[in-house]
Structure 1
């Protein structure tokens, strides 16, 4: 099934806020749909998006150190929950220069709790 990485990145950029709206799964899902992905009956929690990505032709890639990794436009990260406060986990897409979910992130980790705890994650690439 066709997936337009440019449309995905553009949709992320156009709809992102300045701060988290606690809606990363909704925003990334809408960007996926705008790019041609079929999200069907999607999960509510970001941490459960792996199967949808696999079904849409993405595959998991190995990223041992996100700080030194060369991400590509269209990469998507799915993070597990943090121990306190972020039970839904997180999902974000890379637009070629930055990570975006429901807001433009400052880096790979979406916030201080994630940066501190570094929960497990999977990066998906198409």
Structure 2
């Protein structure tokens, strides 16, 4: 049973003060702490595994517990990015102070991303 509060609490308490390059590992661990098992892969590939685990792609404004899968941008991390929304901030391996895009390269390039929500 999905417990988004447990997932969010886990990611908040285990976040680093800055990016470490392990966003998918951090968010996957949080989701698993929230009661949903996931296959482990690069962030850019996690959408299909979220769907298999009961999440669905959604559109519009994010709500608490939503997960973003962001594709890589030229010159950035080839693995892409993954983050979970707590209702105010996006969290990955760190607290993202500037929205869904985790850093200046992402904010400048604005690669495509998809949002996923557990039913």
Q: Residue 92 of structure 1: SS of its match in structure 2? A: strand
Structure (1/2) with the larger strand percentage: 2
When normalised by structure 2's length, the TM-score is 0.94
Q: Residue 49 of structure 1: SS of its match in structure 2? A: helix
Displacement of 1:85 in angstroms is 2.4
**2:107 matched to 1:119?**
no
Displacement of 1:38 in angstroms is 1.1
**2:76 matched to 1:85?**
yes
Displacement of 1:10 in angstroms is 0.4
Q: Residue 68 of structure 2: SS of its match in structure 1? A: strand
Gap regions ≥5 residues in structure 1: 64-68
**2:40 matched to 1:48?**
no
Q: Residue 94 of structure 2: SS of its match in structure 1? A: coil
- Give the alignment partner of residue 91 of structure 2, picking from 96, 100, 110: 100
Moved over 3 A (4+): none
1:59 matched residue in structure 2: 56
For 1:54-78, what per-residue CA distance to the aligned partner results, in whole angstroms no more than 9, with x for missing partners? 0111111124xxxxx3x21100000
2:27 matched residue in structure 1: 28
Q: Matches of 1:16 and 1:96 in 2, distance apart?
A: 16
1:17 matched residue in structure 2: 16
Q: Residue 95 of structure 2: SS of its match in structure 1? A: coil
